[in-house]
Structure 1
Amino acid sequence: MTSTDDTGAMAPLKRPARWHILVFLTPALIIYTIVMILPLFQTLWLSLFNVTKEGTPVFVGLGNFKVLFGDARWAADFWNALKNNLIFFAVHMLVQNPIGVALAAMLSIPKLRFASFYRTAIFLPTLLSFVIVGFIWKLILSPLWGVAPWLMSLVGAKGLFLPWLGLPSTALVTVSLISVWQYVGIPMMLIYAALLNIPDEVIEAAECDGITGWAQFWKIKLPLILPAIGIISILTFVGNFNAFDLVYTVQGALAGPDGSTDILGTLLYRTFFGFQLQLGDRSMGATIATVMFLIILAGVSLYLFIIQRRIRRYQF
């Protein structure tokens, strides 16, 4: 934009300073810095120190990381937790997200009756506290007073019932499926919103070409919602590698049986705060938290700089 000065020459029009933006952002920046940024840097800094018996911190550099990966006991616990975390994430990616996409596709059918009821019923578990969810499913799956054996007996399958939460071979998958049941409504709603955002002109053009039904979903709609699926995938990755609450509620801090449900979150909790006769070690806890942060940072960077660039062309 330009204006005319006294000599008749064109001069650029000065825009007023938008100082009010800084005023509105300052409270949020202060709170975010206190709650997120400062604890993050303090954790990274604490991972480089060790505390002596006298309680004085001593700088050890990467010594704590050498202990975490080099000491037999620490390394066994860490790699077991990381393996379980990867399985926990894989169950969500292979079960939760595809079911969420399928539910969203069915709910987006124009002539579907009671669609709003289905959306509410499926999304409702995400509003429940993880304590309530964990307690409910422990009651359902209990071999002593649970309702699962009785329900399976109604269909003649009581012989197939097992104490899934009490067996090392099935406990992790069972906890993962409980988490899927609780949070499947989130990818469903995000994909549903992405499907509603597809322009009607695209759908009408596909119908004119004879592409209808599920063929329309696979050939037209699915490529267009790939950005939303990418966002859901990275949110699932971050959420699963930060997971702690549901495993702690269902299996306790020891994440039994025999550590079969132990993930990085529960390992961090026991290491930092201690448990039963085990004393807490803040330095090693911060070291595990730093490794978790680096894993999540690597996954998010991979998505932002590689995957997102490849699927951006599908966005309108």
Structure 2
Amino acid sequence: MSRLRTTSQPAGTSAGTTTASTEAVPPAGPVARSRRRRFPTHLVVFIAPAAAIYTVFMVYPLLDSLRLSMFAPRDGVQVFVGLDNFVHLLTDDLLSDAFWNAVWNNLVFFAVHFLVQNPIGLLLAALLATPTLSGRGTYRTLLFLPTTLSVVIVGFIWQLIISPVWGFVDTPLLGQSSTALVTLALMSVWQYIGIPMILFYAVLISIPDELTEAATVDGASAWTTFWRVKFPLLLPTVGIVSVVTYVANMNAFDLIYTVKGALAGPDFASDIMGTFFFRTFFGFQLQQGSSTMGATVATMMFLLILAGVLLYFYGWQRRVESYEL
């Protein structure tokens, strides 16, 4: 409703005459503010291109892969078969053994990164964050440099380094079933150790000096200060680094394919989900490729990755308290 506002008598009017005007005064309060609030159309201009690119190259291939996994060729025609491909993958003698072998190798590949790469990255970040260390910028650049190298170059260099013929090792580490997968994982650790190092380092240098100075005044040693003051502030980043490591290693393919080929030898000892998917989808040597079974393997990879991400969100992130630095 509008309110009436009475104005004062203007000059030059008679004493017996009054002038009144009615003005529509907008109602105050949250209702008026909500009416004045407009949709921020400028955000659409910035978000729409990225959302379109992400949908075309990420969302659509994922949904189409899920769709394709529920079809199978019958007389040259794709026929809907529901979950039959998944049942065939998990029950067929040849496919099932190869699938579970790839899953186990993938988990071992991730475990090496989780237990070796991330702790060493944290140690290097703590050393780089030391105020008394000179040349930190140079060390930081050198440690992060392998991350920028091509996987082909890294695989070729390490094959020469650990070759019994040209290198410094007498044992064929890549030629034995017991050591091939761990050796490849350590090669990957060497290349990508700079990523967790930089993430941990960014948090460590953002911790206020007042916290560490107060701990020092209270008599805490450098080791106690790190574990009692700094490490609790690093816990959210530890969770992020862990889930990123899991996703990256469950999608691993390029290094093993570069060094060991599609068969991921010896005797499929280094076979992971990525190489198993490659052989299933495209075929290799005597194995005939199948787009529908390849999509089924890709869907299983997606479900395993999704399970790990959900475990992070509901088992870790909700229980770790974050502090604003």
TM superposition score normalised by structure 2: 0.89
Partner of 2:73: 51
Contact 1:224 1:315 (C-alpha < 8 Å) held by counterparts: no
Gaps of 5+ in 1: 150-160
Residues 1:248 and 2:257 aligned together: yes
RMSD: 1.6
Find the residue that maps to 2:79 and give its secondary structure: strand
Q: Give, in whole Å, the separation in 1 of the partners of 2:270 and 2:108.
A: 10
Structure 1 residue 10, shift from structure 2 partner: 2.3
The residue correspondences of 1:1-316 to structure 2 (distance < 5 A) are 6-7=24-25, 9-10=27-28, 12-13=32-33, 14-52=36-74, 54-144=75-165, 146-149=166-169, 161-314=170-323, 316=325
Q: Give, in whole Å, the separation in 1 of the partners of 2:144 and 2:271.
A: 27
Structure 1 residue 36, shift from structure 2 partner: 0.4
Q: Give, in whole Å, the separation in 2 of the partners of 1:39 and 1:8.
A: 51
Identical residues among aligned pairs (%): 55
Find the residue that maps to 1:259 and give its secondary structure: coil
Find the residue that maps to 1:311 and give its secondary structure: coil
Q: Give, in whole Å, the separation in 2 of the partners of 1:55 and 1:196.
A: 61
Q: Give, in whole Å, the separation in 1 of the partners of 2:303 and 2:50.
A: 25
Larger radius of gyration, structure 1 or 2?
A: 2
Q: Give, in whole Å, the separation in 1 of the partners of 2:184 and 2:299.
A: 25
Farther-moved stretch of structure 1 (170-179 vs 296-305): 296-305
Partner of 1:152: none
Farther-moved stretch of structure 1 (274-283 vs 227-236): 274-283
TM superposition score normalised by structure 1: 0.91
Q: Give, in whole Å, the separation in 2 of the partners of 1:254 and 1:261.
A: 9
Find the residue that maps to 2:72 and give its secondary structure: strand
Gaps of 5+ in 2: 6-22
Structure 1 residue 315, shift from structure 2 partner: 5.2
Farther-moved stretch of structure 1 (85-94 vs 203-212): 203-212
Find the residue that maps to 1:148 and give its secondary structure: coil
Letter matched to residue 298 of structure 1 = A
Find the residue that maps to 1:10 and give its secondary structure: coil
Contact 1:126 1:186 (C-alpha < 8 Å) held by counterparts: yes
Find the residue that maps to 1:271 and give its secondary structure: helix
Query: Structure 1 residues 8 and 278, CA, compared in 2 at 3 Å: closer, same or farther?
Result: closer
Partner of 2:15: none
Structure 1 residue 206, shift from structure 2 partner: 1.3
Farther-moved stretch of structure 1 (301-310 vs 250-259): 301-310
Partner of 2:16: none
Q: Identify the structure with bigger relative contact order (alpha carbons < 8 Å, sequence gap 6+).
A: 1
Structure 1 residue 277, shift from structure 2 partner: 2.6
Structure 1 residue 219, shift from structure 2 partner: 1.2
Letter matched to residue 57 of structure 2 = V
Find the residue that maps to 1:57 and give its secondary structure: strand
Partner of 2:14: none
Contact 1:91 1:176 (C-alpha < 8 Å) held by counterparts: yes
Q: Give, in whole Å, the separation in 2 of the partners of 1:30 and 1:20.
A: 16
Bigger helix share: 1
